[in-house]
């Protein structure tokens, strides 16, 4: 009768392989694994992900998008404040001309100067505002295109 060597009979074989590093630590690597890196090997060595490869580009684009958004918001609020100032100036010019006993048909202001149609005649109005916020007006016949 022959015996098969694949069947265990008796005591388990003892390991003669030395454990690298701490003898009480579990041993996971092969003979080629250095101490401190137990899981190295071709199955664990992979390329970095897309984000890791392009992190600088992603951050740069994100900063650029934030900067553009901030510029657009700033531009929006600036334009809104200019429109409010022009509307306030148009109202002040209308009030000034009506105090003179004239009828205002149209007023359009843009950055400190206004064009007005008063009783069918066109006029240019120069607006000056001092440091206290008081406005003074200079009115002249319209001479332009």
Q: Tell me the average pLDDT across 120-138.
A: 86
Extents of the domains making up the chain: 50-141
Is 114 a residue whose pLDDT tops 70? yes
Question: By C-alpha distance, which of 86, 120, 97 is closest to 142?
Answer: 120
pLDDT at 74: 97
Is 4 a residue whose pLDDT tops 60? no
- Across the chain, what does the average pLDDT equal? 79
SS in 3 state form for 81-104?
Answer: HHHHHHHHHHHHHHHHHHHCCCCE
- How many beta carbons lie within 10 A of that of residue 135, not counting itself? 14
pLDDT at 132: 87
pLDDT at 119: 87
CA 75 vs CA 62, 69, 91, 109: distances in Å = 20, 10, 24, 20
Write out the two tokens for 23: 């003898």
- The number of C-alpha atoms within 13 Å of 118 and in the hemisphere containing its C-beta is 21
pTM above the 0.85 mark?
A: no
3-class SS at 32?
coil
pLDDT at 66: 98
Distance CA 91, CA 108 (A): 10
pLDDT in tens, 38-75: 555 555 557 778 888 899 999 999 999 999 999 999 99
- The number of C-alpha atoms within 13 Å of 128 and in the hemisphere containing its C-beta is 5
């Amino acid at each position: 009768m022959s015996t098969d060597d694949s069947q265990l009979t008796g005591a388990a074989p003892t390991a003669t392989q030395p454990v690298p590093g701490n003898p009480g630590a579990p041993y996971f690597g092969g003979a080629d694994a250095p101490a401190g890196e137990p899981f190295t090997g071709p199955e664990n060595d992979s390329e970095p992900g897309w984000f890791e490869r392009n992190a600088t580009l992603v951050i740069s684009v994100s900063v650029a998008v934030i900067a553009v958004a901030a510029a657009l918001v700033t531009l929006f609020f600036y334009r809104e404040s200019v429109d409010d100032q022009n509307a306030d100036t148009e109202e002040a010019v209308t009030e000034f001309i009506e105090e003179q006993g004239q009828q205002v048909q149209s007023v359009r202001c843009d950055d400190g100067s206004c064009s007005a149609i008063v009783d069918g005649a066109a006029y240019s109005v120069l607006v000056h505002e001092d440091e206290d916020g008081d406005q003074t007006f200079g009115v002249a016949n319209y001479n332009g295109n």
